[in-house]
Amino acid sequence: MTRRLHPDPAVAAAFLLSLICSPAFGLAAASPAPPEPPADVRAARAALAAGEHARALKAYERAVRAAPGELRWSAEYRQAAIAAEAYDRSIALFEELVDDHPGSAAVRLNLGYAFVDKIPSAGAVTQVILADRALGHFSKAIELEPSWLALYTRGNSYVFWPAIFGRTRKGIADLERAVELEPKESPAPFHAHAWIALGDAHWRLGDLDAARAIWRRGLDRFPDNPALEERLGREGEALDRLLDEHYAIGKRVDTSLEELWER
């Protein structure tokens, strides 16, 4: 069974391709109530708690195959695969699911995330190949369903690419579309990520004025957002250092999607 992404951006999941590095960062807004975990997920969690990664992965794989469009179990599976350094296994599973469910945007996103998950384990050149493949699957997800999540995911991925590759403006276009999809009233806190990444994209292009304007608009909509405050509070080399570190090639980024279901 293929479950489509929820069409309402207000309940769309947030993909944190940027790190959640501050303990102050958290979701206060309402997220959809998490579904009751099926037995396989419960078994996988128990296995993980017992340190039995192989058993956990098998149980998660049963759960993901049973509900390939369910982002939460897929995300949990990928995190378990990261812990077990089973990157190729994760990629293989989602490639299989893409073949079986070619119309599922969620499966495409997961395959892209699986490639992203492998990046820190790879050499510098393979990282480029993995990131490029991830982008291909994110693009396919947008074709299938241009949701806030898919647009944010691909847009943010573009921002990770050094400007020399000419992809930053594509990222800006995606992120501007994502911002437009954000609900006018009561956006969820995770929607701030599109504003952050959009400003970062302008910083990447060297247009600091545009970056600050975006970050300020974002802060107006998401008061007290620590990432936006931090960017606006830094100047010159300190800002560059922050963002260079944030977008360091090869750094593990959080693809856990936890903000989707955390309250």
Partner 1 sequence: MPSIDPCRPAALGALLAVAGLLAVVRPSTAADGEAPPSARSRAPWFEEVTAAAGVARPHRNRSFDNPYAHIMEGYTALGASAAVADFDGDGRDDLFVTDSAADGRNRLYRNRGDLTFEDVAEAAGVAAGNDAKNASANALWLDYDGDGRRDLYVVRFGQSLLYRNLGDGTFRDVTAAAGLTARLNSIVAVAFDYDRDGDLDLFVGNYFPPVDLFDPATPRFFPESFETAANGGGLTLWRNRGDGTFEDATRAAGLAGHTGWTLDLGHADADGDGDDDLYVAADFGTDRYFVNDGDGTFTDATESAIGIDTKKGMNADWGDFDGDGRFDVYVTNITDEYMREGNFLWRNDGDGTFTDVAQETGTWDTGWGWGGKFFDYDNDGWLDLYVVNGWVSAGDENYVLDIFELIVRPDVDLADARNWPPMGEKTLSGYQRSKLFHNLGGSLFRDEAARHGVDSILDGRGVAVADFDDDGRLDLFVANANAPPHLWRNVSPAAHWVELVLEGRRSNRDAIGAVVRLTAGGRERASFVNGGNGFAGQSSRRVHFGLGGETTIERLEVRWPSGGRQVFEGLAADEIYRLVEGGRPELQTRGAGAADGDEETAGHGSGLERGPGDEGDLGARSRSAVTPPRG
Residues at the contact surface with partner 1, assessed by CB under 8 A: 122-126, 128-129, 132, 162-166, 237, 241, 248-250
Measured from the CB atom, the residue of 203 and 222 that comes closer to partner 1 is 203
Evaluate whether 216 touches 259 at the Cβ level (below 8 Å). no
Query: Closest separation between CB of residue 120 and partner 1, Å?
Result: 12
Measured from the CB atom, the residue of 27 and 98 that comes closer to partner 1 is 98
Measured from the CB atom, the residue of 102 and 165 that comes closer to partner 1 is 165
Query: Closest separation between CB of residue 127 and partner 1, Å?
Result: 9
For residue 78, the one-letter residue type is: R
Q: Which residue has the tokens 């969690």?
A: 45
Query: Closest separation between CB of residue 125 and partner 1, Å?
Result: 4
Evaluate whether 138 touches 15 at the Cβ level (below 8 Å). no
3-state secondary structure of 104: coil
Contacts (Cβ under 8 Å, ≥6 apart) of 29: 186, 187, 188, 189, 190
The dihedral built from the CA positions of residue 171, 174, 180 and 186, taken in this order, carries a sign that is negative
Query: Closest separation between CB of residue 123 and partner 1, Å?
Result: 3
Measured from the CB atom, the residue of 35 and 250 that comes closer to partner 1 is 250
